Amino acid sequence: MTSGEQRSRVRVFGLRARLLLAFLVVAAISAGTTAALTYREARSALLQTAQDTAVTSFRDRVQQTGFSLPLPREDLEGVLRDIARMGKPHPWVVFAEYGSIRASSGENPVSTVITPELRRAARANPHGSFERVVKDGVPYLTIAMPTVFKAGPDSVLPSGIVLYAVMRMTDEQLNVDALLMAGRDGALPGLAVALIPGLIAARSVLRPVRKLRQAALSMGSGRLDTRIPVRGSDELADLARTFNESTGQLERSVRELREAEERARRFASDVSHELRTPLAGMLAVTEVLDEDADGLDADTARAVRLISAETGKLAVLVEDLMEISRFDARAAELNADEVDVAEAIRKTLQNRHWTDDRVRVELPDGIRARLDPRRFDVVIANLVGNALRHGGAPVTVSLHTEHLGAEAHSPGTAVLITEVADSGPGIQPAVLPHIFDRFYKADAARTRSAGSGLGLAITLENVKLHGGTIRAGNLPGGGAVFTVEIPLHTEEADG
């Protein structure tokens, strides 16, 4: 869970980042568009006002000035300077063209800013006109003003005099720049403010998601009663509700399964218990019958011996069933004691009368381990008995210890390894995965075996109880080998 949280924090394009990014993009687009449109409108309004003022006041000034025709060159510059002095909204430079006369209120009689297009427009039709020109980064307003005069009461004639005004738009430039700055300064804090709703939205989405994830993890670790608090009525609340319902159904199914399993186990346990008492009586009777069988006629004697043998097998089966029921009910206890392992194995073989040359042992002395002597006895007896029954003599029981994962500086885990190998044909590879299953018949044809069919399953449970493992395999030269590995807790404690 902690590693998961770290992962989500490291994630760059997580839900939170994407939501924030989306909010920022939307805010940037709207702020940018608004600022740009406002700027454009304000700029054109600003320039429009300046231009209209300039054109109107220039026309007024010109109209208040008297000219004689033809225009005398001599005092023309003085007249132009008078007009220039009254420039609005800024001082302007006035140029005049008449015939071949070129004069101005400034130093040069001809302007470098006025374009041929403006000149042509002023000559072609009698209209005032202006043109904005940017020269060397400085914006200028150039105005052309053709003049007319009254030749009679109803008669207006073009005089041939064209006046030009050139005005620097420095102040307008400053105002436009200020507009741009204002737009920018307004948009950037807007973006910062947009982060707050973005964070809130991300939080409102991420919190239920995080809770859902924690609940799923908690369920995975076995707590099926995990539920999420449902808040609100949005899609995430629906998801939480669905999750809770599914969890409830899952919990119910699992509980039913467990109860069914429990019932089945208790049934097997009860059946074994109920069978044991009558079987004990039957065993006592069959022993008597066995003794008297020699006095009976041949057929009856065979029948009596068959009944006796089968009753004995039934007794073993019932004992095994009870044993495995205890494992299933987790009622099996480990009564561990420190024992000499080689000694324990020898005692087992002696008790089963496997002391002839059918069983060979390789048992080094001095290996001590904490084991349950009775259960270890069952393990060894089952394995050797199984080997003798299904494999072939001779059976070899060997014992040694090993340090698994041992390295130079750490001793690793010390394990006790017991191997039981036979000299039979070995185990078919298809059978190997099922060899420890209950009532599994390695040979389908041999439906009746001497064992109960639970021997290896009980062995496996006993080894597990010791915290060890058991595996089956085949030797390279033929013959099956069962390997039991049990951790040596004693050495660990001593060392």
Partner 1 sequence: MIRARTRRHAAAVAVAAAVPLLGGCGIRGTDVIEAGGPASIQAFVNPDYDMLLFFRSPDGGLNPVVRTTVPSDAVFGTEYLVSGEVEDSGVTEGPVPTEKVVRSLLAGPREKDRAAGLSTSLPAVRAGGTVAVERSSGGRVTARLPLALKGLDSTALRQLTCTIAYSQGGDGKAVVELTGQDGATRSDTCGLDLGNTGNVPTETEPRARPTPSGTTG
Q: Applying CB under 8 A, which residues contact partner 1? A: 32-33, 36-37, 39, 43, 47, 51-52, 55-56, 58-59, 62-63, 65-73, 98-101, 115, 117-118, 121, 123, 126-134, 139, 143, 145-161, 163, 169, 172-173, 176-177, 180
Using an 8 Å Cβ cutoff, are 201 and 174 in contact? no
Distance in Å, CB of 39 to partner 1, minimum: 8
User: What would the two tokens of residue 111 be?
Assistant: 């302007």
Q: Could you tell me where the DSSP H helices lie in 221-297?
A: 235-292
Going by DSSP bridges, is the β-strand pair 129-135/395-404 parallel, antiparallel, or unpaired? Answer: unpaired
Buried b (16+ CB within 10 A) or exposed e, 74-94: eebbebbeebbeebeeeebbb
**Bond preceding residue 89 cis, omega within 30 of 0:** yes
CA angle 315, 318, 320 (to 5 degrees): 110
Give the integer Cα–Cα distance in Å for 380 and 378: 6
Give the integer Cα–Cα distance in Å for 160 and 123: 9
Residue closer to partner 1 by CB (options 67, 327) is: 67
Residue in the structure block whose two tokens are 């065979």: 302
Give the integer Cα–Cα distance in Å for 372 and 379: 11
User: What would the two tokens of residue 471 be?
Assistant: 């595996």
Residue closer to partner 1 by CB (options 119, 352) is: 119
Residue closer to partner 1 by CB (options 157, 192) is: 157
Distance in Å, CB of 169 to partner 1, minimum: 6
Residue closer to partner 1 by CB (options 25, 260) is: 25
Give the integer Cα–Cα distance in Å for 58 and 164: 9
Distance in Å, CB of 191 to partner 1, minimum: 16
13-16's contacts with Cβ under 8 Å and 24+ in sequence apart are 15/202, 15/205, 15/206, 15/209, 16/202, 16/206
Size (the chain), residues:
495
Of the candidates 482, 355, 486, 357, the one whose C-alpha atom is nearest the C-alpha of residue 421 is 482
Residue closer to partner 1 by CB (options 53, 253) is: 53
Residue closer to partner 1 by CB (options 131, 251) is: 131
Give the integer Cα–Cα distance in Å for 117 and 131: 9
Going by DSSP bridges, is the β-strand pair 368-371/413-421 parallel, antiparallel, or unpaired? Answer: unpaired
Distance in Å, CB of 68 to partner 1, minimum: 6
Give the integer Cα–Cα distance in Å for 177 and 105: 30
Using an 8 Å Cβ cutoff, are 389 and 424 in contact? no
Residue closer to partner 1 by CB (options 45, 69) is: 69
Using an 8 Å Cβ cutoff, are 165 and 145 in contact? yes
Q: Residue 405 carries which DSSP code?
A: T
Q: Which helix (H) or strand (E) holds 111?
A: none
Distance in Å, CB of 120 to partner 1, minimum: 8
Residue closer to partner 1 by CB (options 172, 461) is: 172
Residue closer to partner 1 by CB (options 39, 327) is: 39
Residue closer to partner 1 by CB (options 158, 467) is: 158
Distance in Å, CB of 57 to partner 1, minimum: 11
Distance in Å, CB of 100 to partner 1, minimum: 3
Helix (H, G, I), strand (E, B) or coil at 80: helix
Residue closer to partner 1 by CB (options 167, 470) is: 167
Distance in Å, CB of 84 to partner 1, minimum: 15
Residue closer to partner 1 by CB (options 57, 218) is: 57
Distance in Å, CB of 34 to partner 1, minimum: 10
Distance in Å, CB of 403 to partner 1, minimum: 54
Distance in Å, CB of 125 to partner 1, minimum: 8
Helix (H, G, I), strand (E, B) or coil at 420: strand
Distance in Å, CB of 81 to partner 1, minimum: 17
Buried b (16+ CB within 10 A) or exposed e, 182-198: ebeeebeebeeebeeeb
